[in-house]
Amino acid sequence: MSTNKIDLERKVQGIIEQIRPYLQNDGGDIQFINITDDNTVNVELLGACGSCPHSTLTLKNGVESAVKKALPEIKSVEAINI
């Protein structure tokens, strides 16, 4: 893995850590999984976020928005099921 990708992963994880308390306050959580070669961030939504009908809005308007604002090279943030 290149140094640039490792740095990008650290930055994304830092942003997710800043967002995590807000999700935990609502009974949910988020876990970073990986970044694909086309700069898509994969995360897993946990707890209440995993089954919440509003999780897509939270993911796109909250998490993805924050990540892309700080790191414009990120293409998108997607929830995956593990």
Domain region containing 54: 3-79
Q: Is the pLDDT of residue 22 over 80?
A: yes
Instruction: Quote the radius of gyration of the chain (alpha carbons, Å).
Output: 12
Q: Structural domain tally of the chain?
A: 1
Per the confidence metrics, is the pTM higher than 0.85? yes
Please report, for the domain that includes residue 13, its CATH number: 3.30.300.130
Please compute the mean of the pLDDT values over residues 14-42 and round it to a whole number: 95
Please compute the mean of the pLDDT values over residues 28-52 and round it to a whole number: 93
Cβ atoms of 77 and 59 within 8 Å: the answer is yes
